[in-house]
Structure 1
């Protein structure tokens, strides 16, 4: 099975070995095996496990009880895994799988034009610019990036980046250890999150003002291994990161990586991960829509990519694990001011354009940071609920494998009243006319944008009010209709509801509002109601289409005329009975 990670690079601190602290390159070329020992495994048993493959324990991630054993050169990797797994004190052994970046680095058209004429279109589409009127990023919020590092001296990132950390233990030929970004990807991701405009030609990050903790886990080519990524996630959680952006992936479902994610989640961190770029297959994909990790792990917010047309980006992996989508096509952001691996292959320095779910994920990480800047008390689960509940539903109604809950909407996410109540109404099927006192069955499409699912026949119901021309309530709280089936977050339902018209003729506003019985009207928490204008009358109405009329008539002679009559009212016409409907005519004198 193929498995590769990719992310960004950094400079300054280093991680790995005891407790995920100091990173160092291995001097042994044998297979790298990740071993989870039993909690009561002795030092002797640990040493014996390494010796069984002629290797050494090169480093450990103590918080999740993982050791990386480097076997003797020439040993078969699977044979070494099997041998270690049989040793006393060993719970699990797996290969230190490779990982890859989740971006599209070889699009020559985009790379030759860093601004594409589109500017920062993703911020406009997701209404980040309008959300800034409500909140800016807080320096108390730390967002970690597990990537290829960062250029901390970039003019748009100075003051936004904490001391960068090197987490690399192995590098490709030609790459160097160190925390500086020698690829370009990590600086691009950091800019999407937190770039602050400090130059006339600068860009803005979604949550400028927050702090970025860059942890380098991929080398200059964008290659890395599971152990370095896992150690970086643990380090981020132990150093105050509320959000960890992971714009990389592997096809290996690694226990080590899974445990690192769980460790961070247990400490309150939200993991935001690129969903993957296998929507069309490609050299890094074994098959179309191959599952990516850590994106597919429980509790991780997996992000798909959208285009400038608000459609699914064809390269973006589709899958049931996709949580939301965000702009990921032709994204302008910061790149290192010095030469890098990517700049030698066409990428521009200082600012550049990249595409991929790697670019979509940091936009969502930035949004999460903005939300925390406004309400730091929210948990990671509540952050996910808020972001998903306020996303704009694209594609198939409700959840789908291309967009998840939808494309994120920063303004709605920031302005959501506590993120608890939310509903969107489609009143397109409401009739424009009703008869006085008539009972009508009207279908209203209601989308649940709350942070909780609506249970069938529960407390959440659809009600209506009639508002007259003066703005007064002619009818308050008409019949309430229960939802017959569960409506999940971002789910929609066409709900037939019984509406009784007012008993006085006139033009009315028919207002729909969801209510949680005994708790609150949704509109009372700031949720817009669903409104439609309706004319209430005696129910009679008609339109006429008359065939061509002769230019003159003979006195007293009948002339047949073809007239098409359409009943535009709300009351059916009877051809018989006590009140049959007949077509008549009148002659008007020249003076009227």
Structure 2
């Protein structure tokens, strides 16, 4: 099973769960094919990772560093997001292979391929629902159609509206596929602007927007936006914040398919644009595992400007971290059904904030797909309900910080739902959101909870070569009083990976005292001995009101090995049988690498007599750590005939290292070829595997 560097440093599950919807009906028209709306670069793949092959996303400390990267690669800077010091470099080469080359240049915070977020189909079991009578009670009919989500037993919206909380004056950005700004339930509350970050184009004409984006595959953004801002006008449906304004930001043009997400650079650009243009809430009804890099930088920037970031937990059915929902400071929303129970598909975890209706909710269908309304399910729709409730809080208290908004919503939630009827649980968070209780409780902004905190942990490694930035380190902030394994424990827990400067940043987290745990670069990624990683345990006080410009700072000096991003293989060149290096019985090679070219293979030769029973072992990720899922071949004296091959050793399987047990039939010189599963498991379509942490040792024995 292939592993890659980006997965292990936090880009886990790099598939965008269009988190997630299930809709009824068949599109009624052909999608408009407008390829200019899509990214046009060649797509490359490394394991499960997809990226624009010739584009590198660079986090930089100063513009000179960004230009330095472009010069080293012989490329050019094609776009920047100066607010978060991120640039996009285009060059003639492969980004995955070149990132290590520039990662250690002065002033570079990170350098990674321009990753493509890709969606999945809705999770099985989410289900569809026909638009039919719901036997609704009178308090569930608001405009024309029944909406259980807003009734007194769920979001309790009317009580908030009667108290004057309607979202008036608050802009909510919807990062999604194109929302239909001409739909009768959206047009009155369109902010008048929409943005495509790939084109860097602002639209002010609804007709032009629809002409460019109407498609058989674009409906999700319309559903999402309508749950937030549909006006209370006696027609159709009403949103939970019916006087808020919405700003569509296209991160998924959905031209030819449901999921065509832009790469992370452009998603980050869209988030920054929205915050700069007055959005006080960003709704993210998508997920995909971007735990550091440009999207985290963009969300941190937005929160530092007072913009609340909301994300859906996901539809994985599991208790797990999914990003961006698990990023520090993000309000993570889970889905509840009509009985205020967690919907089975809704992802759970310690990072969940609250629950909102997400099953069979009545939402607006885009006019280009026939208009009207549909029943639809997913955490995609609990998230915008949560974003709409956040807009109600911000209307009442415009100066509230993202953490204060979160805590107001949590402390007023109906905690009787879920597995812990008296408080927090990992299924529903602090409970079902209650807009009416927020209005009743938040009589004055003086009653807002304490502000959140910003923390920066700077890590340095000390090894026998000196002191280095603590790159790829793991940092955990764990609130004191933490009860490991307890499903009802609300003690905060935040995770971060350090960048090339050794910084792990935490935005808008709960104030308080934390135990700080730091470890050097993950050995499952870089390989090495446990003592080379090093660990640190200490404490830190996160102060309410600390900021991105003046965070609570802690410096950690860690005895740990600095990872080698440009290793030298002592056996190269040994890429053909003619160049094979000699190995003898009883010998284990020095550490070598499948690294330096796209489909590297290393050859070793040995002399054997007839009847020799040999055992050849590749010690790689399973034994040494690192990223190499090895593949081993035994080749005959002609240098061509494969006598035996192995991917994973053991029956049953022990690990991803490789082993060949074989009895030699004829005396002669034989060859052992070491490669990776990514390259060799599917010879008809081999993929590249060129990580500096693809380390291994080859061991040969005569039994």
TM-score, length basis structure 2: 0.51
In the alignment, structure 1 segments of 5+ residues that lack a partner are 9-21, 171-175, 280-287, 340-347, 423-449, 454-484, 493-592
1:190 partner SS? helix
Unaligned runs of 5+ residues in structure 2 are: 1-6, 8-12, 20-35, 44-51, 137-145, 201-209, 452-480, 483-487, 491-703
CA displacement, residues 84-131 of structure 1 (integer Å, 9 cap, x when unaligned): 324454221123333356994877962543765563111111211222
Deviation of the 1:257 alpha carbon = 1.2
What is the alpha-carbon distance in structure 2 between the residues aligned to residue 419 and residue 278 of structure 1? 39
1:291 and 2:325 are equivalent in the alignment:
no
Q: Bigger shift: 30-39 or 232-241? A: 30-39
Question: Within 5 Å, which residues of 2 pair with 1:519-538?
Answer: none
Query: Is 2:373 the counterpart of 1:351?
Result: yes
**2:252 aligns with one of 209, 212, 218:** 218
Q: Does structure 2 retain, via aligned residues, the 8 Å contact 1:150–1:180?
A: no
1:64 paired with 2:84, answer yes
Counterpart of 1:303 in structure 2 is 333
For residues 340-360 of structure 1, the C-alpha deviation after alignment (integer angstroms, 9 at most, x for no partner) is xxxxxxxx7431222111100
Q: Is 1:262 aligned with 2:262?
A: no
Which of 206, 225, 230 is the equivalent residue of 1:195?
Answer: 230
Q: Hey, what does 1:143 align to over in structure 2?
A: 172
Q: Sort the Cα spacing of 1:79 and 1:113 in 2 relative to 1 into closer, same or farther, 3 A.
A: same
Is 2:440 the counterpart of 1:411?
A: no
Residue in 1 that maps onto 2:162: 133
Q: Which residue is equivalent to 1:271?
A: 309
Partner Cα separation in structure 1 for residue 120 and residue 285 of structure 2: 6
In the TM superposition, residue 251 of structure 1 has moved relative to its aligned partner by: 1.7
Identify which of 258, 270, 273 aligns with 1:232: 270
- The 1:243/1:88 distance shift into structure 2, 3 A limit, reads same
1:567 matched residue in structure 2: none
- C-alpha deviation, 1:64, in angstroms: 0.8
For residues 82 and 209 of structure 1, the distance between their equivalents in structure 2, rounded to whole angstroms, comes to 49
Q: Give the 3 Å change call, closer, same or farther, for CA 103–373 of structure 1 in structure 2.
A: farther
Aligned to 1:185: 220
Deviation, structure 1 residue 304: 0.7
Greater Rg over alpha carbons, structure: 1
What is the aligned-residue RMSD (CA, Å)? 3.5
Structure 1 residues 271 and 148: alpha-carbon distance in aligned structure 2, compared to 1, 3 A threshold: same
8 Å contact from structure 1 (residues 179, 216) kept in 2: no
The answer to whether the Cα contact below 8 Å between 1:4 and 1:100 also exists between their aligned partners in 2 is: yes
After TM superposition, give the deviation of residue 56 of structure 1 in Å.
4.2
TM superposition shift of 1:140: 1.6
Q: CA 1:226–1:79 in 2, change beyond 3 Å: closer, same or farther?
A: same
Mapped pair 1:155 → 2:184? yes
Match of 2:586 in 1: none
Tell me if the contact between 2:66 and 2:108 (Cα under 8 Å) persists in the aligned partners: no
Do 2:425 and 2:489's aligned partners in 1 also have CA atoms closer than 8 Å? no
Q: 1:491 to 1:392 in 2, by over 3 A?
A: farther
Q: Which of these residues, 3, 22, 30, is aligned with residue 14 of structure 2?
A: 3
Displacement of 1:230 in angstroms is 1.1
In structure 2, the residue corresponding to 1:84 is in which secondary structure?
helix
Tell me the matched-pair count.
392
**Given the superposition, is the C-alpha separation of residues 305 and 82 from structure 1 closer, same or farther in structure 2, using an over 3 Å criterion?**
same
Aligned to 2:64: 41
Query: Cα gap change, 1:44/1:303 in structure 2, threshold over 3 Å: closer, same or farther?
Result: closer
**Cα distance, 1:61 vs structure 2:** 1.5
What secondary structure is seen at the aligned counterpart in 2 of 1:93? strand
SS at match of 2:393: helix
Q: Is the 8 A contact 2:125 2:345 kept in 1?
A: no
Q: Deviations over 1:47-73 (max 9, x none)?
A: 22442xxx5433221211111234546
Compared CA separation, residues 68 and 42, structure 1 to 2 (3 A): closer
Residue-by-residue CA offset, 1:441-494 (whole Å, 9 max, x unaligned): xxxxxxxxx9479xxxxxxxxxxxxxxxxxxxxxxxxxxxxxxx99xxx999xx
3-state SS in 2 of match to 1:165: strand
In the alignment, the residues of structure 2 paired with residue 37 and residue 23 of structure 1 have an alpha-carbon distance, to the nearest angstrom, of 28
**C-alpha contact 1:113 1:353 (8 A) present in aligned 2:** yes
- Measure how far apart 1:157 and its partner are: 1.1
Instruction: Select the residue among 361, 380, 402 that pairs with 2:427.
Output: 402
Give the Å deviation of 1:43.
6.2
TM-score by length of 1: 0.60
Partner Cα distance (2:165, 2:363) in 1: 19
**Aligned-partner SS, 1:94:** strand
Question: 80, 83, 92: which one pairs with 2:101?
Answer: 83
Instruction: Describe how 1:402-481 pairs up with structure 2 within 5 A.
Output: 402-418=427-443, 451=449
* C-alpha deviation, 1:183, in angstroms: 1.3
Deviation at 1:384, TM superposition (A): 1.0
Q: Secondary structure at the match of 2:282?
A: strand
Contact 2:66-2:87 within 8 A present in 1 as well: no
Q: 1:114 to 1:237 in 2, by over 3 A?
A: farther
